[in-house]
Amino acid sequence: MTTRKYVLQPSEVLKVKIFEDVSINPRGYVLFSLTSFDPGESPKVMVHDMISVMRDAMGFCPKWYKGDVYLYLQGSDLMMKKMGYIDEREIAKNVVDFDVCRGNIAILHQERKKPSRGFITEKVGIMDEYNIGPLYKDSIPRKVLRTKKFQDEGWITGLSISESGKVAYAKVLDISPIKQALFVDGDKVFEITGFIGEIKWAGDKIAIRNTNLEEKGFFGRKELLILEENGDYVKIDVPGDPGDWVEVYPAPSGSALAYHEGKLYFISTESGKSVVRELDMSSLEHRVLISGDRSVHGVDVSSYGLAFIWSSITRSSVLSIYRWKDSKEIEVASATRVPDVGVSAVNERHVVLGKSEKKIIMLHGGPRTCYGISFNFEALMYALNGYEVHMVNYPGSAGFEECENVEEIVKDIAEYIKSVKGKKVLYGESFGAFLALMVSSLVDDLSGLIVERGIYEALSGHMASDEGFEFEKLTYKLSDPIDHPEDYIKYSPIFLIKRIKFPILVIGATDDWRCPFAQSVALYNMLKRYDKEAYLLILSGTHNVKYSGESREKVYRLSKIMEWVEKCFEK
């Protein structure tokens, strides 16, 4: 197959749009935000009114309040609007997050207490409807932040409000190791060594998605817990991982939990797909409700039905409703269709796009994420330009088998690479970059290697990372870095570079705090010291590397990477 140069131009492919933050009311009207990746476009709040889809406001995170009235964020301002009306009202400023249930509103408010030190604190509280004022009257006050029952502050990471007005929220207690607690109206009811993700009231109980770092498993264990207010809880046994851990670009950020009339609806990742499960809160038994060759990225529910957002290889973002009255799924809107390049699964683990003698083998980051039957812009761009793209789900990927041994993962990847015939370039990002460099010492038939924003020397890398030493202590189970610094050499692939026999492209971003830019520079310098064919691609002013910036910048970066890949294949 002849490589076609840069089929995807800024004017066509990066007009990709994705749906986020879906919300459905009892009448079946669906709110969602639409994010466009065109330069200069802002997120829009859209309404599906049973006939068509219309733009209603500029903003994101819309949620139905009462009747046809809804709330949404515009920057950090909490806004109120009635469907179809031009008028809108600001009801609170400096809002990080909020939740609504039966007319009750809980908000997470952020304020800078010590500007000279840049210290930011967050407050959670309940907004009294009386203080909001009548809808669409001049008496609606501005800059409202009132509390009806309580107010708490600290590093708060999520919240949910119940039908009775109780607020559950997660707060960070310590960061070494990370400890979080769940509070209800200011009282601590549950504590965990790990991360508390999404929170959702389910009747008089609380559902939470969390990562338990005390459980065995690669970088902790994802869990779905059902809590009583007294702190007692039941762990729900879920195939795979609760939540959407499928790697998608662009990545939606919809809710993974929804509740209605005794049933909890949640997303779980299973073998590269994410499905919607229905949990009966009385029996705690669950079943698959929504599945298929796709990945679900956000859900909400009402008496009308279940609204959900999904993507597939050829659909960047689709909004659908599963109606209760006839158990029928209806597609409401589709954001962007993309060309079909052909997809196949390998051993029910890996995903392959396109068919060519020129292969790009991709390793995802995480490690607790996975590639799935879902839209992935980067892989699609490579496939449309004439390459065969292998998206590898190594052991320890979300929704696949557990693994606690990095050496086993590296061996598994090496065996897969050897099984792929033809010219091959290996491409790893973040944790995948670390793995790619480790694997490179075990294979000798690569045409090239790309490592992007990885940590290659464990001691200094984790010292400078915003995650500190939590990651490597949990992932590699290493000892104290001061007492046993020699242990970190084992997981520092920079010391393996003498074995590399093929060109290597090192990609780093100057503003990357997770995988510091100095790691990329150090790797490049060491490669040049030993006369390796190495190239350094510096992305200035970015954190998420090629995913940052305007559309033209993204296309340009990926085109430069493909340019380098093609040179490797030409040798």
CB 244 within 8 A of CB 270: no
Instruction: Specify whether the CB–CB gap between 48 and 7 falls below 8 A.
Output: no
> Sorting pLDDT into bands at 50, 70 and 90, what band is 392?
very high
Query: 356 lies in a domain?
Result: yes
In a domain, 443, yes or no: yes
Evaluate whether residue 390 is within a structural domain: yes
The answer to whether residue 103 is domain-embedded is no
pLDDT of residue 519: 82
Whole-number CA gyration radius for the chain: 24
In a domain, 547, yes or no: yes
pLDDT value of position 15:
64
Q: Count of domains in the chain?
A: 1
Mean pLDDT of all residues in 187-193:
92
Q: How far apart are CA 112 and CA 122, in angstroms?
A: 9
CA distance 522 to 508: 11
Which of 18-22, 209-213, 332-336, 413-417 has the highest mean predicted lDDT (pLDDT)?
413-417
Of 239, 321, 230, the closest CA to residue 274 belongs to: 239
Cα dist from 508 to 427, 515, 518, whole Å: 14, 9, 8
The boundaries of the domain holding residue 418 are 343-457+492-570
pLDDT at 361: 98
pLDDT at 363 over 90: yes
Examine the pLDDT at 133 and tell me if it is beyond 90: no
Residue 130: pLDDT band (50, 70, 90) is very low
pLDDT (0 to 100) of residue 369: 86
Non-local CB neighbours of 468 within 8 Å, separated by 6+ positions: 175, 176, 462
- The pTM assigned to this predicted structure is 0.84
Domain presence at residue 523? yes
Nearest to 205 by CA among 127, 114, 281, 284: 281
Q: CB neighbours of 54 closer than 8 A, spacing ≥ 6?
A: 46, 47, 84
> What average pLDDT does range 419-444 have in this prediction?
93
- DSSP structure class, residue 7: -
CA distance 459 to 481: 7
Q: Does some domain include residue 453?
A: yes
pLDDT at 535 over 90: yes
Q: Helices 551-570 and 377-384 sit at what angle, rounded to 10 degrees?
A: 50
Assign 113 a pLDDT band (cuts: 50, 70, 90): low
CB 11 within 8 A of CB 552: no
Distance (Å) of CA 135 to CA 61, 469, 515, 535: 20, 50, 48, 60
pLDDT at position 421:
94
Range among 119-123, 179-183, 455-459 with highest mean pLDDT value = 179-183
Q: Which residue has the tokens 């006050």?
A: 141
CATH number of the domain bearing residue 531: 3.40.50.1820
Return the pLDDT at 143.
Answer: 34
In a domain, 270, yes or no: no
Q: Is the pLDDT of residue 174 over 90?
A: no
pLDDT, mean of residues 179-183: 91
Q: Is residue 329's pLDDT more than 80?
A: yes
Structure tokens at 399: 């929704």
Measured CA to CA, the distance from residue 53 to residue 567 in angstroms comes to 46
pLDDT digits (tens, 9 = 90+) for 23-68: 999 999 999 888 776 555 667 777 776 555 556 667 888 999 888 8
pLDDT band, very low/low/confident/very high, at 265 (cuts 50, 70, 90) = very high
Burial class (CB in 10 A: 0-12, 13-18, 19+), 128: middle
